[in-house]
Amino acid sequence: MNKHIDTIIGKSLFVVAMFLFLCSCSQKQEKLPWDFIGEILENIKTPDFPDNTYNILDFGAVANGETPSGKAINEAINQCNKNGGGTVIVPAGTFYTGPIHMQSNVNLHLNERAVLSFSVNPKDYLPLVYTRWEGIDCYNYSPLIYSNGVQNIAITGKGKLQGNAASDNWWPWKGKTEYGWKEGMPSQLDPYARPALKKYNAERVPAEDRRMGEGYYLRPQFINLINSKNILIEDITIENSPFWVIHPVFCENLTVRGIHINSLGPNNDGCNPESSKNVLIENCYFNTGDDCIALKSGRNADGIEAATPSENIIVRDCHMENGHGGVVIGSEISGGARNIFVEDCLMDSPELDRAIRIKTNSKRSGTIEKMYVRNVKIGEVDEAVLRINCMYGIKKEGADTLYPTVREIYLDSIKCSKSEYGLLVEGIENQNCVYDIYINNSEFNGVEKGNSIKEAKEIHFENLFINGKEMTY
């Protein structure tokens, strides 16, 4: 009898032991960060459209590059939307236009050799519309292509969007001589212009009372999509934007695929998702006058109040040529950023300043975390492979105590042939702002000055070689 009881107890203990072992194995098999890409992609649905088509020629557009066709294009978009959606066709030819406002369930499709050539007359971009300008809410000139509160939209095709910005129209508003500005000309630097908008932000003036536009010299974005979702931007070429090129704000489920950007003007960032969620940027080419891709989430008080991070963002198989940074977070990042994945990209140009860049300061607040970068090939960058700067713009903006946090930044399998620094990291004195930075299985060659790391801790190197020497920290 006792022997039988002992057998039962033994079997019971064995079952309990196996249960505990399996639980332990289950815990050990938790998903790695890269495993979550599949879940993010499942949430990014490209829009579907009915088979209805609307050719802008049927609405009065003229393909001679001179006759204003904006009214015809917008009428085609509105009619398409009214009838339940479909595709608005821009056929081959050059169409001169003012701002285009997208509506739900519309695919604006540019056929091969189709060009939308945009006006450079600021008056054509009135009335004002709600937007965010450098992370600050306001009403400003209409962007060249704009939406607010729509869903299921697309801008596709092998055609071209030509912004026509140059040193004799939009770009001098930057206030720099290299972009056509001359002494005595107005610019965004005038006290009543950009500084006034920053003051509105700090003093919490209601957004509807921040009326910019004429006399303020704040250039419009090329594509600015607000509060919109289920978006596809695919295959188009974009040239010479007045300001930021693609700027989604408070958007969800966005795919930017196969686009080609050549825009070397001031603040000509390529793609700036701001406070947006579930974003895929793939197979794109960036040749820009500022950051190729820059993730944003609002500037100072506006960003802190909205508290909406940019999150669940995938960048892959892209080519970054000229620009201030390849993939950048900041500087308008007060709402934070998280779950950022970058892989299989090429970054290469003596005019590309950094590969991966994070920029913020003590007026921003916000947490930047969980950024994962792997399999990036860097031919040449001017400054650094990884640049983290928590003192960005502080000389102009002044210091504060809204300290940001930068943590859990992972670089793996990165190869670079030439740069001034490997890592160039600057935190904030006596503040634990930058920590948990991991660089693994990487080779940085042609590095002039090694690493420079200040006011940061928990920096981890594993199989990191700089100029052939294994690094420790």
Assign residue 231 the CATH number of its domain.
2.160.20.10
SS3 track for the chain? CHHHHHHHHHHHHHHHHHHHHHHHHHHHCCCCHHHHHHHHHHCCCCCCCCCCEEEHHHHCCCCEEEEECHHHHHHHHHHHHHCCCEEEEECCEEEEECCEECCCCEEEEECCCEEEEECCCHHHHCCCEEEEECCEEEEECCCCEEEECCEEEEEEECCEEECCCCCCCCHHHHCCHHHCCCCCCCCCCCCCCHHHHHHHHHHCCCHHHCECCCCCCCCCCCEEEECCEEEEEECCEEECCCCCCEEEECCEEEEEECCEEEECCCCCCCECCECCEEEEEECCEEEECCCCEEEECECHHHHHHHCCCEEEEEEECCEECCECCCEEECCCECCCEEEEEEECCEECCCCECEEEEEECCCCCCCEEEEEEEEEEEECCCCCEEEEEECCCCHHHHCCCCCCCEEEEEEEEEEEECCECEEEEEECCCCCCCEEEEEEEEEEECCECCCCEEECCEEEEEEEEEECCEECCC
Q: Specify whether 316 is located in the same domain as 250.
A: yes
Residue-level pLDDT at 473: 83
Same domain, 73 and 6: no
Does residue 161 sit within a domain?
A: yes
Q: Which residues are designated catalytic? A: 290, 324
Same structural domain for residues 246 and 204? Answer: yes
Residues 279 and 171 in one domain: yes
Residue 47 resides in a domain:
no
pLDDT at 17: 47
Clarify whether residues 199 and 296 are in a common domain: yes
Please check whether residues 6 and 131 belong to one and the same domain: no
Per-residue pLDDT of the chain (473 residues; tens, 9 = 90+): 444 445 444 555 444 444 554 444 444 567 889 999 999 999 998 999 999 999 999 999 999 999 999 999 999 999 999 999 999 999 999 999 999 999 999 999 999 999 999 999 999 999 999 999 999 999 999 999 999 999 999 999 999 999 999 999 999 999 999 999 999 999 999 999 999 999 999 999 999 999 999 999 999 999 999 999 999 999 999 999 999 999 999 999 999 999 999 999 999 999 999 999 999 999 999 999 999 999 999 999 999 999 999 999 999 999 999 999 999 999 999 999 999 999 999 999 999 999 999 999 999 999 999 999 999 999 999 999 999 999 999 999 999 999 999 999 999 999 999 999 999 999 999 999 999 999 999 999 999 999 999 999 999 999 999 999 999 98
Domain assignment present for residue 44? The answer is no
Is 37 domain-assigned?
no
Q: Which domain holds residue 22?
A: 2-30
Same domain? For 227 and 339 the reply is yes
How many domains in the chain? 2
Q: Are residues 149 and 19 in the same domain?
A: no
Q: State pTM to two decimals.
A: 0.93
Confirm whether 267 is domain-assigned. Answer: yes
Query: Residue 3 has what pLDDT?
Result: 46
Is residue 14 domain-shared with residue 144, that is, in the same domain?
Answer: no
Q: Answer yes or no: is 466 within a domain.
A: yes
Same domain, 95 and 22: no
Same domain, 190 and 330: yes
Residues 343 and 260 in one domain: yes
Residue 331 is assigned to a structural domain of this protein: yes
Query: Considering the domain boundaries, does residue 35 fall inside one?
Result: no
